[in-house]
Amino acid sequence: MFVALVVWNFASYLHVGFAQITSKSAAKIGQKVWESQLDTAALRLGLVGNIALSFLFFPVTRGSSVLLLLGLTSEASIKYHIWLGHIVMTFFTAHGLCYIIFWAATHEISQMLKWSKTGVSNVAGELSLLAGLFLWATTFPRIRRKIFEVFFYTHHLYIFFIFFFVLHIGISYSCIMLPGFFLFMIDRYLRFLQSRRGVRLMSARVLPCETLELNFSKSKSLSYAPTSIMFLNVPSISKLQWHPFTISSSSNLEGDKISVVIKGEGSWSKNLYQLLASPSSIDHLDVSIEGPYGPTSTDFLRHDLLVMISGGSGITPFISIIRELLHTTESTRSKIPNILLISAFKNSNDLTMLDLILPISFTPSNFSNFPLQIEAYVTKEKHQVTQEENPIRSIWFKPNPCDAPLTPILGQKNWLWLGFIISSSFIIYLIFIGILTRFYIYPIDHNTNMIYSSSTRSVLHILFLCIGIVIAATLGFVWNKKKNERESVQIGNVEGATPTASPNAWYYNADRELESFPQEEFLKCVNVHYGERPDLKRFLFERKESSVGVLVSGPKTLRHEVANICSSGLAANLHFETISFTW
C-alpha cells in the first residue's frame, strides 16, 4: 500500500508538471521539451523520496512508544526500515542521475560543483547521495551476512547522509523527516547513556554445542515480557560492535537476574565462546548492555494449548515463555494452557539447549503438574551418540566495583519520562533557535532568506536540536539513575565453591542416577527422536482443543511451512504467530 501511495504520488506530480511544459515554455528558457520534462521528473523524484525518508527512522527507534502503539517490537519492525531504505535510495539515486543527465544535456555540468549560499547546494546533495550509496551497497543480504562487520561500520554513514541532506535542501524542507529522526536521536542518546556503565555478569553456562548462557544481575524494578531482546557489547572482543540476543529468563521468575543465550555462529559470538570455553577461563568479563526491548505484554493464557515449534537456536524465546508460565503456576496457581514444544536440532550436542529451560536457581514445588511435553528431533544422527559425562560447565565471575545491576533507562514510568524528554528537549531547541534568529539572523537577513547562509542556518538548527536533546535526556537519565542506585542492593562477593558442571545434563545417559526430583520429572516430559524430522501436519491437525496457539521460531523455511499449515483452512482452531529471535 505504501509503494502504491508513493507511485501514485510520483505519477500525479509528473501529470501536473508535464501539463505545464510546452514547446513555447521550454524554448523561453533555452531548453527542449524532453529536457524540461527531465528537469521536472528529477525534482519530483527527490520530493517523493522525502516521503519515504520521513518514515525511515521510526522502525529503528527501539524505545519508541510509537512502535508499542502499533503493536510492533523493535526487531519485528526492522523489515519496514529495510523496505523504506530501499525506496529512499531508489528515488534519491534516480533523482541524482536525472539531474546529472540534465546538466550534461544542457551543457551545465558545472552545476555539480555549485554550493549556493541561499539556495539548494548541489555539492551537499552529491555528498549525501554518495554516503547513502556506500551504506546501501552493504545492506543487501548476501553482503550483510557474509561480511557483517563491513555492513555494521558503513551503516554509521547515515550521520553524513542526514547531515549533508539537511545542508542540501535547507532546514525548512528537512522538517518533513524531523519527527522520526528527532525521536531516533533521543533514543540513540539514551542508549548511549545506558551503555556507558558496565553490567555485572554473574555467571555463564558453557554448552558443548558452541552455545553460552550469560546471567547478569538486574534490579527488581526492571521488568520485561517474554521474547524481549537486548544488545550486548564486549569491549575485549570489539569496542564498537553491538549484537542483539533474545532474553531467555523470566522477569517474574528470576527477579534479580536476566539471561541471554548466545549461539556461536558469527565471528563475534565464536570469539566470545572460545574466550569462555577455554580451559584457563577468565574470572571477569566487561559487558555493556542496551535494553531490554520487547512487547509490553504477552497473553499466552487465552489458548487451551500452546504448540511451540523451533528449529535450532529458535528455542531461545520459548525458554523465556516456559519460565514465565512456570512462574504463573507457582505464584497465582492459575490454570495455564497445555504446552507442546517441538524442537528440531542437527546434532545430539544441540540437545543440551533443552537444559536451559529450567534455571539452576529455581526449584518448582510441584513440577509434575506442569503441563509440558517436549518432542525433540535430531535430524543428522540415526541414533543416540554417547557423550562425555557432565558436558556442560558453569563459570562464576568475580564482581567488579565498577559494574552495577541492569536497571531501566528511565525508571518504571519510562513512557512518562520519555514524553517529558521529547517535549522539554524540543522546547529548549525552540528557545535557543528563537533567541538566535531574533537577535542575530534577523538583523542580517530581515526574513528575506537571500542574505544569511542557508548552510550556516541549517548547521545551527542541528546544533541546537542536539543541545536540547542532550540537556533533557541527561537530566532524565541522571535523575532515574540516582533513584535506581538508592533502591539497588549492593552486590557482594560470591563466596564458596564454584560448580564446574550443570546439574541437569540428563539426556545423554538416561540410565544414570538422577540428581533431583525436578530433573526426574523433567525427563518424563521429553521424547527424543533420531534420524527424522517432525511431522508438523500430524501434530497440528490432530489437536482437538478449541483454541490452539501455534508459535514458531527458527529458519524462514520453517516459519513459512507452519504458516502454510495454519492458513490452509483444514483446522479452524489453529492461531498462528511467528516469534522473532536473535542469538
Alpha-carbon distances of 390 from 276, 503, 521, 522, rounded to whole Å: 17, 8, 19, 17
Closest CA to 61 of 82, 81, 34, 37: 81
Model pLDDT, residue 495: 39
Contact 304, 341 (CB under 8 A): no
- Mean pLDDT, the chain, rounded, equals 84
Rounded-to-integer distance, Cα 369 and Cα 3, Å: 52
Mean pLDDT score, 354-360: 78
Q: Looking at the predicted structure, is the pLDDT value of residue 388 above 60?
A: no
Ramachandran bin of 283, using left for φ above 0, alpha for ψ from -120 to 50, beta for the remaining angles: alpha
Joined together, the cell numbers standing for residue 549 give 496457539
Q: Is the pLDDT of residue 538 over 50?
A: yes
| Peptide bond preceding 226 in cis form (omega within 30 of 0) | no
More confident residue, 579 or 525: 525
- Average the pLDDT over 185-197 and give the result: 90
Closest CA to 117 of 453, 459, 460, 457: 453
Sign of the alpha-carbon torsion through 376, 381, 384, 386:
negative
The residue ranges of DSSP E strands in 279-437, in sequence order, are 288-293, 305-311, 338-345, 372-378, 393-396
- Going across the sheet that includes 201-207, the strands are 257-263, 211-217, 201-207, 393-396
* Structure-derived torsion over alpha carbons of residues 9, 175, 117, 438, reported in degrees to the nearest 10: 140
- Quote the percentage of the chain above a pLDDT of 70: 88
pLDDT band at 458 (very low <50, low <70, confident <90, very high): very high
Residue with cell 516521503: 51
The pLDDT of residue 512: 35
Higher pLDDT: 112 or 63? It is 112
Closest to 384 measured CA to CA, from 333, 349, 334: 349
Burial of residue 262, with CB atoms counted within 10 A of its CB: 0-12 exposed, 13-18 middle, 19 or more buried? buried
Name the residue among 236, 314, 326 with its Cα closest to residue 272: 236
Q: What pLDDT score does 487 carry?
A: 59
pLDDT range class, residue 499, cuts 50, 70, 90: very low
Nearest-angstrom CA–CA distance, 424 and 421: 5
- Return the bridge partners of 206, or none: 212, 393
What is the rounded distance in angstroms from the CA atom of residue 288 to the CA atom of residue 283?
A: 17
CA atoms of 168 and 559, how far apart (whole Å): 44
At 224 the pLDDT is 85
CA nearest neighbour of 95 among 136, 44, 56, 32: 44
Domains and CATH numbers, the chain: 1-184 (no CATH), 201-403+535-579 (3.40.50.80)
Neighbours of 14 (CB within 10 A): 16
Which of the two residues, 431 and 297, has the higher pLDDT score? Answer: 431
CB atoms within 10 A of CB 469: 23
Residue 309: beta bridge partners? 342, 552
Where residue 361 falls among pLDDT bands split at 50, 70, 90? low
The C-alpha cell of 47 is what?
A: 520530493
Residue 507: the pLDDT is 42
Residue 508 pLDDT level (bands cut at 50, 70, 90): very low
Name the least confident of 91-95, 427-431, 440-444. Answer: 440-444
Q: Is the pLDDT of residue 506 over 50?
A: no
> What are the tens digits of pLDDT across the range 131-173?
999 999 998 888 887 777 788 889 999 999 999 999 999 898 8
Q: What is the pLDDT of residue 394?
A: 82
* Residue 386 region by backbone torsions, left for phi larger than 0, else alpha for psi between -120 and 50, else beta: beta
Q: How confident is the model at residue 45 (pLDDT cuts 50, 70, 90)?
A: very high
Q: Name the DSSP class of 508.
A: T
pLDDT band at residue 56, thresholds of 50, 70 and 90?
very high
- Average the pLDDT over 499-512 and give the result: 40
**Rounded Cα–Cα distance for residues 115 and 63 (Å):** 38
CA-closest candidate to residue 395, choices 557, 215, 221: 215
| Angle (deg, nearest 10), helices 454-487 and 414-436 | 150
Identify whether the C-beta of residue 51 lies closer than 8 Å to the C-beta of residue 91.
Answer: no
Give the rounded distance of the alpha carbon of 396 from its chain centre.
29
Q: Report CA Rg, the chain.
A: 28
Q: Which residues contact 246 (CB under 8 A, 6 or more apart)?
A: 227, 228, 229, 260, 261, 316, 317, 320, 580, 581, 582, 583
